[in-house]
Amino acid sequence: GVSHSKDLPTSGVDGSMRNIKVDKLVVNISTGEAGDRLTYAARVLEALTGQKPVLGRARYTVRQFGIRRNEAIAATVTVRGEKALDLVERGLRVKELELHYENFSDTGNFGFGIKEHIDLGVKYDPTTGIFGMDFYVVLKRPGARVARKKRKAGRVGAPHRVTKDEAMKWFKDTYKGILTHEK
């Protein structure tokens, strides 16, 4: 039969359930103000993803920034599936496939910023202006649903979570990416 040796979790058979995948990509544009600028930002995100963005609101009033509590100041979109992969790739191409190791979180996700949205291949429209945006990519392994579902919810065990190192390796393997300041 199979020997159940108590090795390190990494010695588990490399099956398809171990394969890291993109769970979702969150794209965010913070304009820091309501009004036209935000409307345009939302329009850019919609053009980019084909989805209607959600508006992020200010948590509290900050006079210096000129924002009021509950005022809409950002537009966010969560993309999954093929569309997410496509955008992640386009986003990384703008970064010339180069990320800093600090772009990666301990929970095995990573994010990066893009200074000008037109780099993503969106046509420049002078009335809209230029928007920078944040890309945040959440990685998972198959089976992540056990932690999310309402009925019979479970936890994703430590060996099955994505670590920072695994995420960086995934980035390098998947996109032939370059990591700067590697320790």
Give the tens place of pLDDT for each residue, 42-77: 999 998 889 999 999 999 998 888 888 999 999 999
Q: Region 94-117: what's the mean pLDDT?
A: 91
pTM of the predicted structure, to 2 decimals:
0.83
pLDDT value of residue 2: 54
Is the predicted pLDDT of residue 107 greater than 70, yes or no?
Answer: yes
Residue keyed to tokens 């936890």:
155
pLDDT value of residue 179: 87
Q: pLDDT tens digits, residue range 116-144?
A: 888 877 788 888 888 889 999 999 999 99
Q: Region 25-35: what's the mean pLDDT?
A: 89
Strands, E assignment, 31-140: 54-57, 72-79, 98-100, 110-114, 133-140
Is the predicted pLDDT of residue 4 greater than 60, yes or no?
Answer: no
Burial string for 59-79 (b: 16+ CB within 10 Å, else e) reads eeeeeeeebeeebbbbbbbbb
The dihedral region occupied by 98, where left means phi > 0, alpha psi between -120 and 50, and beta the remainder, is: beta
pLDDT value of residue 6: 47
pLDDT value of residue 14: 64
CA 93 vs. chain centroid, Å, equals 15
Q: pLDDT tens digits, residue range 136-177?
A: 999 999 999 999 999 999 999 999 999 999 999 999 999 888
pLDDT value of residue 28: 93
